Structure 1
Amino acid sequence: MEAFNDIYLNFSKKHGVTRFADSGWGWKPSSGGETFTLDQSQILSAQWSRAARGYEVKVLSRTDGVIQLDGFKQEDFDRIAKLFRVWYGINLENREHALRGWNWGKAEFGRAELSFNVANRPAFEVPYTEISNTNLAGKNEVAVDFSLPADGEVNGHLGGARFRGKKSAGAKDQLVEMRFYIPGVASKKEKKEDGEEMTDGEEGEEQNAANLFYETLMEKAEIGEVAGDTFATFLDILHLTPRGRFDIDMYESSFRLRGKTYDYKIQFDSVKKFMVLPKPDDMHTLITIGLDPPLRQGQTRYPFLVMQFKRDEEVNLDLNMKEELLESKYKDKLQSHYEAPIAVVVSDIFRGLSGKRISRPSRDFISHHEQSGVKCSIKANEGHLFCLDKAFMFVPKPATYISMDNIASVTMSRVGGAMAASRTFDITFTMKGGLAEHQFSNINREEQQPLENFFRAKGIKTKNEMADDSGAILAAALQDDDLASSDGEVANRGSADEDDESVDEDFHTESESEVGEEFDENHRSSDDSDDEMADADADADSDAADKEAEMEQRPKKKQKTAK
């Protein structure tokens, strides 16, 4: 047996002792804890390289992927190389990393990790188990998302990557996204790195290199394909947040959204809230899923998914699950066959697989139109506010969740002119602990009493400012009526009243009207002349001469000279 002290397993925060034997090797933390062991038959290959805490041994296993032991000294190489060769029959490869600092190179897909090589040396490697998602961010750009911490932020430190729970970062910051710019085209033959030959027809086929990289990474990292086949699939589901249509694949511990541009894999552990909200249009049902950590699309985060289903759309679905598994693990949770509205089927399968509780609108609230939600706006975004038993939910955008435990008070007020305020009102939620307040505007005046009754039933401190300004609104309305019915007073005309009313000395009136139009009673239009009507069939030249003579007899209009 060979033993080495102060060795770190998979970037662990605490060091431990590593022992090698002919049957395999193991690692045990010095301060006590879970021990990791690997059988000799599971070892496929090993390499030695410079690392953060000295030198590391990277072991590729059959089932656990890449395992890293960090903290060795340079003089340990001969001992470790000998024991790998004698006990395991494996040559310990001494691999040097590229230190040129270039940001361009070649990406190679290995068996368990993605390697970025510069001048035929690896600049960095990314294990597939740490990749949570990948998307085509552009025509020649691929975004790679890394797994987020298991416990979120704990005491200012991130716990490490969550997927399969093997890597644990000890620093405060963690890399969560990387983008590759991949120009040009590539053939499908380059997709295979294990030497497998392609057929002649596929060998010459070329496609966009970024698309090929994206498809290969999806396959290698098994994004969305976890723990067997899908249990259920729903095609072309409309999502209001993020906007688009996605196919939904249900797995045992996660679900996947497949769109034309983006693919998302979401663990059921990330689902914190699940709400079924009947839309007040009597035609659709909204399913809202709260996520923590939120879904990321570039720089945009989506803490809520909002799906919309038609109420009258029914679906016949046979669950793709073995009877033994259905009876043993999901008995009384799932059915083998569903025939119901699609929103009901989706919510039932979500609840059965994830074990999450479904929240629905409170029975204590019924709007004026006998609905579960009221129409309102957040700034310029229209949506609906739903009253739940312990919270308020505004959908679709921006999806806003307000817990009743965090509400200090609710203020009901009118904003705007007298006419606008008489039809709608606003409500403002003042939050505890100095949190930002939430304001919902343009609520129908008829919904005031149902909302006020609900607030009081839930024990929420309510302030109604609309009663205070009712006198002002009434006075404004009366003033408008007085202005409309007044005959003796002239309304303020602004700058029009500033004109000088003195007589213009340059303006002289004459006996005949200057208008010269059909509105002048002294003017005889050519259209009204009986003589001209009688001679309507005369020569065209004669008519033109008569009109010209008539125009000469009209008094010339004098121009008004400006002072």
Structure 2
Amino acid sequence: MDFLEYSDITAEVKGCMTPGKLKMTDQNIIFKNSKTGKVEQIAATDFEMVNFQNISGVWGLRMFLKNGILHRFVGFKDSEKEKIAKFFKSSYKIDMLEKELSMKGWNWGTAKFEGSVLSFDVGSNTAFEIPLNHVSQCTAGKNEITMEFHQNDDAPVSLMEMRFFIPSNELAGDVDPVEAFQQRVMDKASVINVSGDAIAIFREIHCLTPRGRYDIKIFNTFFQLHGKTFDYKIPITTVLRLFLLPHKDSRQTFFVVSLDPPIKQGQTRYHFLVFLFNQEDETSLELPFTEEELKEKYEGKLEKELSGPTFEVMGTIMKHIINRKVTGPGNFVGHSGTPAISCSFKAAAGLLYPLERGFIYVHKPPIHIRFEEIASVNFARGGGSTRSFDFEIELKSGTVHTFSSIEKEEYAKLFDFITSKKLNIKNRGKSDKGYKEDFGDSDDEAPDAYLERVKAEAKERDSDDVSDESSTDEDFKPNAEESDVAEEYDTNHSSSSDDEDGEGGSGDEAKHKKKEKKTKTISEKPSKRRGKKDKDENKPKRATTAFMLWLNDNRERIKKENEGVKVTEIAKIGGEMWRELKDKSEWEEKAKKDKER
């Protein structure tokens, strides 16, 4: 038997049962948190004792390590006990015994300290156990000890504090049992006290989340953010991931620290720390370690003297002291030549970074999405605009994150990246070739009347032959159905100007006549093709619109500003510029004069 694997297991983390996957191998036991993706490994050589334990009516494993740390994993079936017992006996040479708990309900008994665990025994059995690394503070009274606990925001019910009454004991002699109890708790509790010198100090670092400028002091077991208003002490064990991400402007760099559990300020929770560095800023530091200490503690990976860009020095120190690798951008390169995509999340603009194993968005709010959390992605139209699109990520939990206002040029790069990572694309059909090549152009899209009019006028001007037989349409699709809405717009456009055949009138009348013409062409006998009408050379041309007069004067400027633009796209770009033009009086006056002509 090489390994055992269980997918529906929960681990006890500060009073909350956290779901994940448990894998037991000959070398170690691995638990992967399904929520955060954090992987925790317990080496087989670290086991002191392993027991079966009934936790809330479900069988679990109680693992007590040689360093005094206690782990509990819950969710095993009764039928699996024998298989697990055999595995531990053969792989780890450990006998699996069931740990019985006291069911008497007494609130008096004996307190025992074993490693970093305080057990309260009633008789010969344990009533409850307290991992002391969950204790945030311990205070002593006359005959009383009060212990306060770190809180887990995900726990439905939290234990805030616990009090023990310790009676006086004449046999204790000069030793105060209350002070001795408190000292044993404080030795193993995770209480952060600023003592000793900091390993490294970075002054006045610009922090986007939480907002402000902070001095960052890094110690062995925690790091401190010291600002003018707030002060945060963050244990190193709460750091989940580190990210180093270059800004799109190539002059700044984000350094992102992911935390679990988050730091708190009132009711606000900060799951990410986002620092912003200028790439030109440099610093030099000398670490307070001897060469021997650096070799022993950090295996020679840290040098005594560090110098270079501030973000690199900070990243190097955090990486080795916290023992977390620094994640950078993956192989993705966007349209702008950088690994970032400009977009908006809700009302705030930011940057989306496709990574090797997920996405991260900075900075308001910072969001990290792992690939294994994603159910599907979706490319959607961006609020009616043809120049941008929305990128939707739907998680397996049902949550949907929408990143909007992404430039159309980014689509091909992002699509190739999604395809290479084998993510499920929700709106991909049997053949996505046409969709990929021309995002935003589909048969069911409601046409833009203004754009249609601009295209029609551009064709009249650029075409030498005004006949229907010789005109070309680049957007023509032989298999696409004809849109009724487009027909209405075309009819309104022709009826609004002087009709050459003298059939001008209201839009409804023109539409009715057009339908009559269509009805007449349908007959049992094949109709003969009518010959081309003779063109009257002395007939005056129809009046030019204000937009076309403006476009004729600005055509060369548009070509210069948009190198390589197609002739058919000049009118489209001009239409957008004309729409944003505030003062159109000059061109409207010229159009009025031309109409009188």
Structure 2 letter corresponding to 1:325: E
Contact 1:14 / 1:29 at 8 angstroms: preserved in 2?
Answer: no
Q: Confirm or deny that 1:83 pairs with 2:171.
A: yes
Partner of 1:429: 393
Q: How do 1:76-475 and structure 2 match up within 5 A?
A: 80-84=168-172, 87-88=173-174, 165-166=188-189, 223=193, 225-226=194-195, 228-363=196-331, 365-417=332-384, 421-434=385-398, 436-462=399-425, 463=427, 467=439, 469-471=441-443, 472=445
Contact 2:357 / 2:370 at 8 angstroms: preserved in 1?
Answer: yes
Distance apart, 1:15 and its partner CA: 2.1
Distance apart, 1:387 and its partner CA: 0.8
- % identical aligned pairs: 30
Contact 2:382 / 2:389 at 8 angstroms: preserved in 1?
Answer: yes
In 2: Cα distance, 1:32 partner to 1:240 partner: 43
Flag the structure with larger Rg: 1
Distance apart, 1:409 and its partner CA: 1.4
Contact 2:118 / 2:130 at 8 angstroms: preserved in 1?
Answer: no
Specify whether residues 470 and 359 from structure 1 end up closer, same or farther in structure 2 by C-alpha distance, changes over 3 A only.
same
Q: How do 1:487-502 and structure 2 match up within 5 A?
A: 489=496
Distance apart, 1:414 and its partner CA: 1.1
Specify whether residues 482 and 128 from structure 1 end up closer, same or farther in structure 2 by C-alpha distance, changes over 3 A only.
farther
Structure 1 letter corresponding to 2:336: H
Asked which structure has the greater RCO (Cα within 8 Å, sep 6+), the reply is: 1
**1:192-231: per-residue Cα shift (whole Å, max 9, x none)?**
xxxxxxxxxxxxxxxxxxxxxxxxxxxxx864x14x3111
SS at match of 1:15: strand
In 2: Cα distance, 1:248 partner to 1:222 partner: 16
In 1: Cα distance, 2:308 partner to 2:407 partner: 34
Partner of 2:584: none
In 2: Cα distance, 1:33 partner to 1:475 partner: 69
Contact 2:119 / 2:129 at 8 angstroms: preserved in 1?
Answer: no
Distance apart, 1:326 and its partner CA: 1.6
- Gapped runs of 5+ residues in structure 2? 1-106, 133-139, 148-161, 429-434, 459-492, 499-505, 507-597
Q: RMSD value over aligned CA atoms?
A: 4.2
**1:346-379: per-residue Cα shift (whole Å, max 9, x none)?**
000001101101111111x110111011100001
Partner of 2:142: 47
Structure 2 letter corresponding to 1:83: L
Specify whether residues 395 and 50 from structure 1 end up closer, same or farther in structure 2 by C-alpha distance, changes over 3 A only.
closer
Partner of 1:16: 121
In 2: Cα distance, 1:373 partner to 1:345 partner: 23
SS at match of 2:326: coil
Contact 2:379 / 2:390 at 8 angstroms: preserved in 1?
Answer: yes
Specify whether residues 166 and 338 from structure 1 end up closer, same or farther in structure 2 by C-alpha distance, changes over 3 A only.
closer
SS at match of 1:410: strand
**1:373-398: per-residue Cα shift (whole Å, max 9, x none)?**
11000011110000110010000110
Q: By percentage of residues, which structure has more helix?
A: 2
Contact 1:274 / 1:290 at 8 angstroms: preserved in 2?
Answer: yes
Deviates more, 1:335-344 or 1:322-331: 322-331
Contact 1:7 / 1:70 at 8 angstroms: preserved in 2?
Answer: no
Structure 1 letter corresponding to 2:358: A
Partner of 2:110: 7
* TM-score, length basis structure 2: 0.48
Distance apart, 1:14 and its partner CA: 4.6
Structure 2 letter corresponding to 1:266: I
In 2: Cα distance, 1:376 partner to 1:303 partner: 21
Specify whether residues 30 and 426 from structure 1 end up closer, same or farther in structure 2 by C-alpha distance, changes over 3 A only.
closer
Contact 1:255 / 1:266 at 8 angstroms: preserved in 2?
Answer: yes
In 2: Cα distance, 1:266 partner to 1:51 partner: 23
In 1: Cα distance, 2:366 partner to 2:146 partner: 44
Contact 1:7 / 1:69 at 8 angstroms: preserved in 2?
Answer: no
Distance apart, 1:166 and its partner CA: 3.9
In 1: Cα distance, 2:125 partner to 2:322 partner: 34
- Gapped runs of 5+ residues in structure 1? 19-27, 37-44, 53-67, 94-110, 114-126, 131-162, 168-220, 492-496, 498-563
SS at match of 1:344: helix
Contact 1:368 / 1:447 at 8 angstroms: preserved in 2?
Answer: yes
**1:543-562: per-residue Cα shift (whole Å, max 9, x none)?**
xxxxxxxxxxxxxxxxxxxx
